[in-house]
Structure 1
Amino acid sequence: MNDAGVGWIAAIIIGGIAGWLAEQFMKSSMGMIMNIVLGIVGAAIASAILSYFGVHLGGWIGYLVSGFIGAVLLIWVVRMIRPASA
């Protein structure tokens, strides 16, 4: 988070936006707290994966993009592990 130049308050706000965007993209229904968690954790996971491939996103926009990508991946993984009930 410090590498992206984003503080804790901004990380919560940007994480919430990234989680909400991922929720809309994946047509999922989660609450505001889960969106924030998905965005922040997703940003950390996506940043690690992208840096492995040599891609480094910085700043607020980079944090938003990596949060969105990571949150989408997390939603996808949860859907693969726990299929939707009938």
Structure 2
Amino acid sequence: MTAPDAEPAPSPPGLSDRDRALLALERRSWAGPGAKERAIREELGISPVRYFQLLNALIEDERALREDPVTVNRLRRLRAARRERR
């Protein structure tokens, strides 16, 4: 039991705007080759290589899973399938 005037434990902070932008970009469908890479550079201002590094780390974050379970679980399945093929 906690003291009546004790503050509750802080919850972990949510995702950053950049993390939300990564997930939003990943949810979209792409018209053709190069469209996604172009959007990564134009909208996020980072290279596609850096995008995929950040995205790979992000899908391990439980906050991302809570924020967008469909996208995160899809990305986790795709990554697992790629690993199995190696």
By the TM > 0.5 criterion, same fold?
A: no
Q: Give the TM-score of the pair, scaled to structure 1.
A: 0.27
Whose relative contact order is higher, 1 or 2, with alpha carbons under 8 Å and at least 6 apart?
A: 1
From the CA coordinates, give the structure whose radius of gyration is larger: 2
